[in-house]
Structure 1
Amino acid sequence: MAATAEQLDELARGWTALASLHARIETHVERTLQRAHRLSAREYSVLDALSRQDDFHLRMNQLADTVVLSQSATTRLVTRLEDRGLLSRYLCPDDRRGIYTEVTEAGRRLLAEARPGYETALRAALDEAAKRPELAPLVAAVETLEAPPAGAYAP
């Protein structure tokens, strides 16, 4: 069954609201992380994704899927973090074509320092967005989402 023009318009408005919520949150979080830790929101998301794995590492393609970046963007981001001593890469022992990325001790320390500020900035951004009628239902939905279990690879 084909969607009506009204349904498509509603879909477009919903997508615009979701994109707006994401941009507002990311901008607020980015400012906080940059100011306090010289860390971008994307860099934080990479460190966070890796730290939530039981063994603190993922294959590069899994990491790209998890943080929703292209392979090349993930490689550039990992290289920047590796240059800062926050990540390391190594060849997969079972498949020499595979490359793992893992958080270093320095990366875990920085993440631990940055996490409270990240969480405070996230909460503040959500609270501010909840004041906007078009965003309030999305904020409520975000607040009720269940996180994947620790160590779960979630592309």
Structure 2
Amino acid sequence: MTATDPALTALAQGWCALSLLHGRIEARVEKALQAEHGLSAREFSLLDVLGRQHDGPGGHLQMKQVADAVVLSQSATTRLVTRLEDRGLLSRYLCPTDRRGIYTEVSDSGRALLAEARPTNDTALREALAEAAEVPELSALVEAVRSGGVPAGVRA
């Protein structure tokens, strides 16, 4: 393949479109969450991931799993957890069956903030997608996000 290969050009264009869509969504969600709830999009995402944990086998996530879920390095995730813990939104405790393991859970105030912020997040997401759907280069990606599928003509 050469740099002018049509397949590479299409791939590069697809990647640029995806990056643009992600940037638009993230900026819109970030602005709304900060203005209404004093949360960053990453903080919301972390609270959301941790809020979905449950007691019992496989119910708690290791920090690497949390880092993967919020698309951050483990060290960045640890710093984010510490910031939210300092705000009283999370707490950490030792795993009862493996004293080396540390669990992180959302506090009652964190759950309350998450519940308040979820509609803001959802509204900002819908608005960002509606705006992006008007851009011809993004419309197929928007449809894929809305449907949970892959747009026609796009292959992994």
| TM superposition score category, shorter chain reference | 0.7 to 0.9
Aligned equivalents of 1:30, 1:83: Cα separation in 2: 21
More off after superposition, 94-103 vs 64-73: 94-103
TM-score (norm 1): 0.88
Listed as ranges, the matches of 1:55-134 within 5 Å are 55=55, 57-134=60-137
Aligned equivalents of 1:129, 1:54: Cα separation in 2: 35
Structure 1 residue 51 and structure 2 residue 51: aligned?
yes
TM-score (norm 2): 0.87
Whether the 8 Å CA contact 1:57–1:103 is kept in 2: the answer is no
Gaps of 5+ in 1: 147-155
Displacement over 4 Å in runs of 4+:
none
Gaps of 5+ in 2: 150-156
Percent of aligned positions that are identical: 67
RMSD: 1.7
Question: Looking at CA atoms only, which structure, 1 or 2, has the larger radius of gyration?
Answer: 2
Aligned equivalents of 2:84, 2:128: Cα separation in 1: 26
1:58 Cα offset (Å) = 2.3
2:6 equivalent in structure 1: 6
Whether the 8 Å CA contact 1:51–1:57 is kept in 2: the answer is no
